[in-house]
Structure 1
Amino acid sequence: MASSSAIRPAPGTLKAAVWQHFGFYEVKGKLDKTYTVCKVCGTKIKYFGNTTNLRNHISRYHTELEEKRPVPEGSGSQRTIEQALAQLPPNSDRAKRITKSIGKFIAMDLRPYSVVENEGFREMVHTLEPRYKIPCRRYFTDTAIPTLYAETKSKVLDTLTNAGRVAITCDAWTSIATVSYVTVTAHFINNDWQLVSLVLQTRAMYESHTGANVADLLKKVASEWHLNDNDLVLVTDNASNMVVAAQLGGFVHRALKLPALSKLLAKIRRIVSFFHRSTVGAHQLEEKQKLLGLPCHKLITDVSTRWNSAYEMVRKGEADLCTLTETDVSNAEDVVKALKPMKDATTLISEESSPTACLIAPLQAQLCQETRIIDDSRESSIIREIKQAINEDLRKRYNSDLERSTLRSASALDPRFKGLPFLSNEDIEETFGRVVAEAASLEPQVRVEGEENHEENPSPPKRRSPSSLLENLLGNTFAGATAPQTISAYTKAEEVNKFCGTPPIPLSEDPLSWWRTNEIMYPLLSKLGKRYFCIPATSVSAERVFSTAGDIVTAQRSTLTAEHVDQLLFLHKNLHIA
């Protein structure tokens, strides 16, 4: 460490009070302004032409000097720049707002608590507000994030209190630290006919995931979040009423095990693996693609747990393997053709914004139709085998009276599917009979004002981007469908008659937008609709939390407590309502 006598004072042009504690070394008769030097401890500090680093050094290592800095003479009653840049009191409104904002940044962007100690982050915050002193990591862990969690939880509770029926999804996952968690999400239709999804909680579950233990957990969820457990709808990946995406995967997994298909997949897998291992082979493949004018894309291999990866491997490799490697994969085109409806249905049902229970019955009926065995010599044996395996499984699903009636009622209330062309006339009448009875049971809860004086709003409902997958899957079935005819059994339910008397809307329309426009026309049915449209078709929303959790519980943060995991996931998904 250099002695203070070797440090030369700063030039007189540098008038800031902080310069009384800093100077420069002299090199060959000139001041070396690359670094400033602290007169107290001799520390060399990079100099960029301003005093930011100097003040940071005093604030961090010599706070006693910061408190005793002299006030320049002649200041009078006007505050000097130095006084204006004095440290913000931690309990000031501005300091509190900045601290809360940093807490939101940690939760929303999945940053570790230690980010507040990173040099680059501290420099950025100091540049934005030099008077603000960032609290330590422990403060955010123990105070800032828990406070933000409590505030957001209160708003979520208020939101759920004003909701009608709430559907919850729940699923289990295991962190990198091998801790088992159960995440619960909630879904409901708000007053503006928007599907709202919230994460309620993530709890470590150390006991066995038996039905009794899961049921006990869900009772605690209902109690903690003030939900009416008698009216709750539960959707999980192993419940009989919701396994659409998982079931589709299960159907195809069984089809993929057919001997002919297994042999084809093994052949493609070996070739694709070769090109993945050989950089020379991959380059030659790419050059040949360019030469033949084929799309340049890399071949992909399948993942054993994801059936759609096998579909993509066959689809992308089909043309390339035949043309470029002269490999006989003549059945590949048939496999792609047979699995295409299942791929489209899985993609559609896994969308976040709209897949509710109303989709399940039409999709199941359509897929059963698509996988019928046709006595046609133009279909290869492998197509018939795949269709038969999938069709047999599809027809076993949703056979209980409760499942069937719930799913059909949900579809009947969807203005796209209300024609129910996939059902017989007898089943249609039975379905709307249940809708009448259930709507009538809600009548005491709904006050209808001047219903007869309202005419249907002629303005078209708000359109969204065409749902090409839905149109591809169901377009032929619903294109010419008409609303069910008025049946004498409905004469006591004028709303249902009126609803049935209007034509179904196109598949590209958003049913929630239609109900938002026409809610006043059908006060009973709209209330009933909210009870069904809030039910997700799958537990995908809960499963999506797992990928988020993977960003939180990383190898570097594997010691996070279960409480902190719960708080961070909750805030990451719910801060938008705060």
Structure 2
Amino acid sequence: MAKDMVPIYTVQKEGFPKMVGTLDSRYELPGRNFFNDTAIPQVYRKRRREVQADIATVKYFSTTADLWSSRTSEPYISLTVHYIDDNFDLKSHCLQTSYFPGDHDGINIAAGLKEGLAAWVLSEERQVAITTDNTGNIIKAVENYNQWERVHCFGHRLHLAIENAVRSEGDRITRATGVCRKIVGHFSHSWKKRVALKTAQIEEKLPDHVLVTDCQTRWGSTQKMVERVLEQQPAIHRVLSSDRKTRHLLPSWQDLEVLESVNKALSPFQEFTDALSDENHVSISYLRPVLHLFNTSMLAEKGGDTDLTKSLKGKILNYLNTKYEESKELLNMTSFLDPRFRTQYFSMEETQTIRERVTSELMQIQQQQHRPAAQSSAAMETARLDVEPPPPAKARKKTLASFFKSSAGADAAGTSVAEFDPVVQCRESVAAELNTYIYMPCIDQEEDPLKWWKCHKINFPWLSKLAQKYLCIQATSSASERAFSTSGNVVTAHRSCLKPSKRKGRTSPSAKASYSDLMRHQAKQHTPAKLAAAVTQEKLTFCVGWGANFTQVPQPVSIDGADIEVVSSYKYLGVHLDDKLDRSCNTTAIYWKGQSRLHFLRRLGSFNVCSDMLHMFYKTVVESALLYAAVCWGGNQMDKDRRRLDKLIKRAGSVVGRGLDDVGTVVGRRMRSKVQSILANPNHPLHSTVSGQKSSRSDRLPSMPCRTECFRRSFIPSAI
């Protein structure tokens, strides 16, 4: 079911149980609940352990990320990891395709990406780069907030280059492609026209190909549509011209000329995009050679090109050169570490710059490795000093050879300090490897560079580390796109009601990633020493955070090895919280507490105590219990719960003999008093939040924009 994405209810349909009974009539087929609650979670846990074991020892890795909306308009975020293991095999894993509610702004996306890495214990320092598309919120999240190295997806970058070039040419390309879409749509909606087209293809001796429908967000589909219409133009003309009602669909000679120019300019890009989208082979090192090939041959002006073709080529080339200038150093490094290219596409100045960067990075790696070695040697030396020295040996008579031995040892001691310097030795070793690597002949373009590094890592121990680091970067974000394609096959029209908590285990090995990220984020608020004392706070956080966004509680729950109990409600600092966040649990608790306190008020009133004393008793005993922490829960209280408390206050008022303030009045008064004290205290944690809402023209506090009713009725918006 998980592998082939088969619905769970298959086990209850008529055909599957019958087939199982035919194979073995003694076997009792479990129900769908077994597969949903036991079998599929076991498959997920097993797969997660395997992936966790694979990435536990990874030294360097790269990632790809993207956002997607399902058929039911539910947002998801995908994160894939790519790395090269010690055997120089390029491996990829989809870590999560998680439900991602809330605003898709830079801050939330940045936090989601960080929590995705933390859920799999992947350090940000080991991430070389992340490949994403060019949407503004992802760029802001990666570059501005997380400050990670970002690689532009080649597919999206090329699409934008073609889109901008086509848009700059005005309406003639738009009109010509519009004619193609009308032609394809006409043949797609009429089976008679499709039969007539096949007959015309046979008569014209054309290939038996169907027309292609394009997707306007993918330039490749538009190019294929144009190419297929030009290929089948004689057959299309024969079919459409035979019917007077369809002759208006025939493209004019101007349209055909434009389509031929567009096809000639765009057709070479299709194969490059397909090749660079392969996540199982090294792709990032191709970008610099591909750009060089575009500049020298493929997009260079040729004698047979029309003016439109030349214009499109020039604008596409100029756009790509400008955008990839920002990441030129990274592209140069990856191409240099590919034995198929080395310095083939670099100038002398660029080669020297790469040599300096390689030497600098390898020196940093050497220092990182030398530091723990020095610490371990110091510890061994300390341990050696703690051991008692052996008793002195009996003096022996010196021989003639001992004089020469001591003399040679003294000479070596005088020169050992000057000769052995790990920094100098590493620099010389790196320089020797660079010279040997640069002057070696390039391997064939069809060979696998990782296999070459696997065979030659003994000869290049330093450079092989950089190859393992940089060649895992992806040139496109196709890995995340494929994860979304898999998710689309899960969330079909027949399974559009499938909840997000049920989809995760079927699309990636991160069925509990969102919950684990939430709990791990709360655990970061406490030091490891305070984790045991913070278990109750984690239960509180679970009650508030999980119930609002999720529908199923995953088991078991643990934070850094500490088991956390999951509860449906919890009392914290005198306030009852439940997983529904509707305050009904808290209202019920204080209602019964108020009833017991009201009993004492009635008993006191039976002794003919004056009204002032009864009112003082009500304030100190009854109201303190009914409206304790009302600033926190008063705004989000439901109307029916508020009416219950108002009835209780009304009964107390009849005993006291005067009118008492209802819940809304007391909550409003306390909120105003609290927000005024916050404004007057600059050291209060909410001072900057509240004071930041002041109007620039006056000291008034305008209403805050609230997207949800729950937030609108919370403390700060209600108080303002």
State TM-score, norm by structure 2. Answer: 0.55
| Residues 342 and 127 of structure 1, relative CA distance in 2, 3 Å threshold | same
Structure 2 equivalent of residue 79 of structure 1 = none
Measure the CA separation in 1 of the matches of 2:439 and 2:28.
67
Which stretch shows the higher mean deviation, 348-357 or 537-546? 348-357
| Conserved? CA contact 1:409–1:432, under 8 Å | no
C-alpha distance in 1 between matches for 2:456 and 2:131? 29
TM alignment of 1:442-457, pairs within 5 A: 442-443=365-366
Tell me which of 202, 224, 237 is aligned to 1:312: 224
Q: Is the deviation greater in 324-333 or in 526-535?
A: 324-333
Aligned partner of residue 232 in structure 2, secondary structure:
helix
Question: Matched residues in 1 for 2:32 and 2:196: separation?
Answer: 53
| Equivalent residue number for residue 590 of structure 2 | none
Could you give the per-residue CA deviations for residues 292-341 of structure 1, whole angstroms, max 9, x where no partner exists?
32212122232212211111112122132157528521343332221122
Question: Residues 112 and 282 of structure 1: is their aligned pair in 2 closer, same or farther, counting only changes over 3 Å?
Answer: closer
Are the counterparts in 2 of residues 167 and 186 from structure 1 also a CA contact under 8 Å? yes
Q: What does residue 389 of structure 1 align with?
A: 315
Task: Please give the secondary structure, in 2, of the residue aligned with 1:132.
Answer: coil
Alignment partners' CA distance in 2, 1:436 and 1:361: 21
* Aligned match of 2:188: 276
Superposed CA deviations along residues 79-109 of structure 1, whole A, max 9, x for unmatched, are xxxxxxxxxxxxxxxxxxxxxxxxxxx1001
1:558/1:271 Cα in 2 relative to 1: closer, same or farther (>3 Å)? closer
Distance verdict in 2 for CA 1:524–1:127, change over 3 Å? farther
CA distance in 2: counterparts of 1:514 and 1:303, whole angstroms: 40
Change beyond 3 A, Cα 1:256–1:441: same
Q: 1:504 aligns with which of 434, 442, 445?
A: 442
Q: Distance in 2 between matches of 1:358 and 1:112?
A: 41
**Are the counterparts in 2 of residues 169 and 186 from structure 1 also a CA contact under 8 Å?**
yes
Identity %: 31
Match of 2:360 in 1: 437
Give the drift of 1:544. 0.5
Q: Deviations over 1:435-482 (max 9, x none)?
A: 2322333336789xxxxxxxxxxxxxxxxxxxxxxxxxxxxxxxxxxx
Distance 1:420 1:446 in 2: 32
**Higher mean Cα deviation, 541-550 or 287-296?**
287-296
Q: In structure 1, what is the Cα distance between the partners aligned to 2:195 and 2:96?
A: 49
- Offset at 1:343? 1.8
How many Å separate the matches in 1 of 2:40 and 2:86? 30
In structure 2, the residue matched to 1:494 is: 432
- The change in CA–CA distance for 1:285 and 1:225 in structure 2 (over 3 A counts) is same
Q: Is the contact made by 1:185 and 1:199 (CA closer than 8 Å) also made in structure 2? A: yes
The equivalences for 1:110-149 within 5 A come to: 110-149=5-44
Deviations 1:358-382 (A, max 9, x none): 12222223223346563x6632111
Matches within 5 A, 1:362-373: 362-370=289-297
Contact 1:202 1:569 in 2 (8 A): yes
Q: How many Å separate the matches in 1 of 2:24 and 2:368? A: 54
SS at match of 1:494: helix
Question: 1: CA distance between counterparts of 2:83 and 2:436?
Answer: 26
Aligned pair 1:334/2:261, yes or no? yes
How far is the alpha carbon of 1:491 from its aligned partner? Answer: 8.2
Length, aligned pairs only: 423
How far apart are the structure 1 equivalents of 2:189 and 2:496? 33
Q: Is the 8 A contact 2:433 2:463 kept in 1?
A: yes
Equivalence map 1:33-432=2 (5 Å): 106-232=1-127, 233-238=129-134, 239=139, 241-257=151-167, 258-259=169-170, 260-321=172-233, 325=237, 328=253, 329-370=256-297, 374=301, 378-400=304-326, 403-421=327-345, 423-432=346-355
**For the residues of structure 1 that align with 2:200 and 2:113, how far apart are their CA atoms?**
57
Q: Higher relative contact order at CA 8 Å, sep ≥6: structure 1 or structure 2?
A: 1
How much has 1:118 moved relative to structure 2?
2.3
- Amino acid in structure 2 at the alignment position of 1:243: C
- Does the residue aligned with 1:351 lie in a helix, a strand or coil? coil
| Amino acid corresponding to residue 108 of structure 1 in structure 2 | K
Letter matched to residue 343 of structure 1: Q
- The range that moved more, 205-214 or 391-400, is 391-400
Whether contact under 8 Å (1:342, 1:367) holds in the other structure is no
Find the aligned partners of 2:24 and 2:363 in 1 and give their Cα distance.
61
The answer on whether the counterparts of 2:430 and 2:462 sit within 8 Å (CA) in structure 1 is no
| 1:468 alignment partner in structure 2 | none
C-alpha distance in structure 2 between counterparts of 1:522 and 1:217, whole Å: 38
Shift of 1:413: 0.2
* Structure with higher helix content: 2
The 1:128–1:522 alpha-carbon spacing in structure 2 relative to 1, beyond 3 Å, is farther
Query: Is 2:481 aligned against 1:543?
Result: yes
Q: Deviations over 1:143-163 (max 9, x none)?
A: 222222222212211111122
Structure 2 CA distance, aligned partners of 1:377 and 1:570? 51
Q: 1:246: how far off?
A: 0.6
Contact 1:117 1:137 in 2 (8 A): yes
Q: Is the 8 A contact 2:98 2:510 kept in 1?
A: no
CA distance in 2, matches of 1:397, 1:413: 22
1:46 aligns with: none
Structure-1 separation of matches of 2:90 and 2:338: 14
In the alignment, which of 458, 463, 466 is matched to residue 525 of structure 1? 463
Equivalent residue of 1:560, what SS? Answer: coil
Q: Is the 8 A contact 1:272 1:300 kept in 2?
A: yes
Amino acid aligned to 2:448: D
- The 5 Å alignment of 1:13-32 reads none
Q: What is the TM-score when the length of structure 1 is the normalising length?
A: 0.68
> Take 1:278 and 1:138, find their aligned partners in 2: how far apart are those partners?
46
Q: Which residue of 2 aligns with 1:514?
A: 452
Q: Secondary structure at the match of 1:108?
A: coil
The change in CA–CA distance for 1:490 and 1:385 in structure 2 (over 3 A counts) is farther
Q: Which residue of 2 aligns with 1:455?
A: none
> Structure 1: any 5+ residue segments left out of the alignment?
1-105, 448-488, 574-578
Q: Contact conserved, 1:241 with 1:398, CA < 8 A, in 2? A: no
Instruction: Please give the per-residue CA displacement for 1:496-520, whole angstroms capped at 9, x wherever unaligned.
Output: 1111121111111111121122222
Q: Closer, same or farther in 2 for the Cα pair 1:148/1:426, shift >3 Å?
A: same
SS of the residue 2:126 aligns to: coil
- Residue 186 of structure 1 aligns to a residue in which SS? strand
Indicate the structure (1 or 2) with the bigger Cα radius of gyration. Answer: 2
5+ unaligned residues in a row in structure 2: which ranges?
140-149, 239-250, 371-426, 512-720
Alpha carbons of structure 1 residues 557 and 269: separation in structure 2 relative to 1, 3 Å:
closer
SS in 1 for 2:73: coil
> How well do the aligned residues superpose, as a CA RMSD in angstroms?
2.5
Matches of 2:88 and 2:435 in 1, distance apart?
Answer: 23
- Runs of 4+ residues deviating >4 angstroms: 370-373, 444-447, 489-492
- C-alpha distance in structure 2 between counterparts of 1:162 and 1:492, whole Å: 25
What's the secondary structure of 1:181's corresponding residue? strand
For residue 267 of structure 1, report the CA deviation from its aligned partner: 3.0
Q: CA deviation at 1:175?
A: 1.5
